[in-house]
Structure 1
């Protein structure tokens, strides 16, 4: 049994939903078992829902309601295209209208109080997945696929950290065993939503942006799935961002460690948290293209066949800030690192890269202007703080890089040949990546040059397409 997750572009319109239905039918025929299907909101809908919340908070209720009308019409267009003037269409149009009215009431309340607590934000935003999955459920049943729609809030139970909830594994497992597994065993496809869950008291939660991938991995782990399929709009994991490197190559296979590093440092295909539940159960993750389902995609697993090259990909994370901390208190003292880490922990801001010397620490972060200001104020109580904005982290990814001589020298020689200055270097904690920081304006040049250095001569067919 597999878990299949379809992203926003895979359900963006009527044609896309029809393709998803055919992909699920093919999977049933191939594996002779019913999958669990997880779907995101239609492409762009989550962003619009967040926008109408913001507009309502800022007193622009009319603009919020105008955008809400656009969301309504988008789903109505999909319904009419799929079902014409049938009883199914009428039922779905009524459902869409009901959801719109519920959201409208919430927006008016947000407008009245001038702010939106995270618990209410989750209620509004969750409607994107509810609508897309409800429509797809009817399409799959119409196509002869025995499908049962289940509200994710009944089976993915989380803590109460609204907008960034974490699963309560034991309780969720019992819910899945009670409500999902019996249906799968009877041959029903179970269709549910990514990104959303609920507390033990039934309050709606979300897992954070990109959380649909995480949902799929959670359900895959709880069901001991044979594979987790992530269907998106690219052919798989590539050796670099194709918008920067047009000749980027598709990776046929890569390890969990490589995928996690690549995802964390800028790859748009996977959410970093997706990997962990799969690693725990050693479940392969496949990244596939719903626009071109005939392409075999990329399989991510614990171990892969060895190949001649070491570097698998070059990733880039832009819009970062370097924070430089300098203090003589680091010399021969205990507890300074703890104090720094505690400030980041208290502000709930993750550190991307770190580099240290005898009296200084350099860190890279990605956070909002307001969060950065608070962070700097707190750090200034224990050290001299300087920041540098508009930098980019470059990450060269591949298992066992530290065990190979010459990789680092190739990296730095390539950067030097382009007359680009390296601002910060971070390597040592991981054998899977070499990371460094450059000015953001130089990032694309560095990525293209490194890609040419490491991939222009490789003819390996096992790993690269």
Structure 2
């Protein structure tokens, strides 16, 4: 019996009409039943929706932002479809629903739930456009709402998967369809037990592909990117990058843990557990080899650079002349857990704890408020966290030239530095 396959196309691969036409060309000789296609929101749509939410939260007028977003998608459709096509009424209905959801109240307490309800429209809109365009080209796919099968808890913005329920519903609802047609669906979104929209974490469409692959016992997952495969650094930030022809699950997981953006960090584990290989390929050169991530790949040991921007360094100093102990660390981590803030780097001294976290709306203020009675707190925003895996110590100074280093630490395998441009 033939196995299922999962393809995932990110925002850059559906960012405009020519990108969607290119997606159709990629699928021309690859489209078949037993294929599930997962698509992200188009281009920077998620960023645009986040800005709308922020304006709503700040009691600012966001109507122009909504109009610009609508015209962006309509403009793409006008280039792809005849003017009487069904897509225009489908799009109109989705934007009417978005407007109605934006009328609902928002505050700091329900911000995450409101966020999930709104940002998911990016994937719903893009998947409708891509599905209708493929059908227009004679590439028949069945559009499915991922929220009907991706079941999660109610931890909005960072929802955790109900694996058993997701597997049961995905197989019951989608396997009969896949016997005859490919399915096109959305990444990033799910729903909780009350049917409320949830999201799986920023850039979570890769994770969706892995969830569906394990639920459907797929033979492989392919993520289509604007890079030739997994590189040892982001080519937009660092020169002379190297492509990995293959990677072991463990090495890939380590890269994503430290923030490598080519793959969502939650993607590797379910695929590794199920022994499903992951291919990372270029939608600009679809016949090239890309990178294969699987369990039998040899360790590469090539120095790998990961840069995370918009970082915040927060230092908690005890005020009663005692030393830092497990109780202090537990107290800090409890507050971080409550606010869903992940620690990207940790450093301890005798009297202080320093953590590096992603910058998130409201969260820093809430963190400070929750711990100011116990600690003297200082923080710096607008920083970068540089991580070098399989480091070559001789190459580190050049990476820090022109930067002020606020914090650094090194192990046999890993070097990390919190930095900012000198003079800032």
Q: TM-score range by the shorter chain?
A: 0.7 to 0.9
Shift of 1:110: 4.7
Aligned counterpart, 2:394: 410
Q: Does 1:135 pair with 2:129?
A: yes
Unmatched 5+ residue regions in structure 2?
none
- The TM-score with structure 1 as length reference comes to 0.80
Q: Which is worse superposed, 36-45 or 140-149?
A: 140-149
**RMSD of the alignment, in Å?**
3.0
C-alpha separation between the residues in 1 aligned to 2:357 and 2:54?
25
Q: 1:220 aligns with which of 191, 208, 213?
A: 213
C-alpha separation between the residues in 2 aligned to 1:85 and 1:260?
46
Structure 2 vs 1, CA of residues 337 and 128 (structure 1 numbering), >3 Å: closer, same or farther? closer
Are 1:323 and 1:387, in contact at CA under 8 Å, matched by a contact in 2? yes
C-alpha separation between the residues in 1 aligned to 2:375 and 2:392?
32
Q: Which residues in structure 2 correspond to 1:232-243 (within 5 Å)? A: 232-243=225-236
Shift of 1:152: 0.9
1:99 match: secondary structure: helix
C-alpha separation between the residues in 2 aligned to 1:380 and 1:425?
25
Aligned counterpart, 1:74: 72
Structure 2 vs 1, CA of residues 330 and 408 (structure 1 numbering), >3 Å: closer, same or farther? farther
Q: Does 1:98 pair with 2:96?
A: no
Structure 2 vs 1, CA of residues 166 and 424 (structure 1 numbering), >3 Å: closer, same or farther? same
Q: 2:18 aligns with which of 10, 15, 24?
A: 15
C-alpha separation between the residues in 2 aligned to 1:166 and 1:352?
20
Are 1:422 and 1:436, in contact at CA under 8 Å, matched by a contact in 2? no
C-alpha separation between the residues in 1 aligned to 2:54 and 2:393?
48
1:321 match: secondary structure: strand
Structure with more helix by fraction:
1
- The TM-score with structure 2 as length reference comes to 0.87
C-alpha separation between the residues in 2 aligned to 1:115 and 1:207?
19
Over residues 151-177 of structure 1, what are the superposed CA-to-partner deviations in whole Å (9 max), with x where a residue is unaligned?
111111111222322221111111111
C-alpha separation between the residues in 2 aligned to 1:334 and 1:209?
31
Shift of 1:325: 3.6
Aligned counterpart, 1:347: 339
C-alpha separation between the residues in 2 aligned to 1:85 and 1:384?
62
C-alpha separation between the residues in 1 aligned to 2:54 and 2:402?
43
Q: 1:202 aligns with which of 195, 200, 218?
A: 195
Aligned counterpart, 1:318: 309
Structure 2 vs 1, CA of residues 261 and 95 (structure 1 numbering), >3 Å: closer, same or farther? same
1:202 match: secondary structure: coil
Aligned counterpart, 1:463: none
Are 2:305 and 2:386, in contact at CA under 8 Å, matched by a contact in 1? yes
Structure 2 vs 1, CA of residues 72 and 374 (structure 1 numbering), >3 Å: closer, same or farther? closer
Structure 2 vs 1, CA of residues 316 and 52 (structure 1 numbering), >3 Å: closer, same or farther? closer
Q: Does 1:147 pair with 2:141?
A: yes
Structure 2 vs 1, CA of residues 114 and 68 (structure 1 numbering), >3 Å: closer, same or farther? farther
Shift of 1:191: 0.9
C-alpha separation between the residues in 2 aligned to 1:420 and 1:25?
48
Q: Does 1:281 pair with 2:285?
A: no
Count how many residue pairs are aligned between Structure 1 and Structure 2: 418
C-alpha separation between the residues in 1 aligned to 2:292 and 2:154?
34
C-alpha separation between the residues in 1 aligned to 2:182 and 2:378?
55
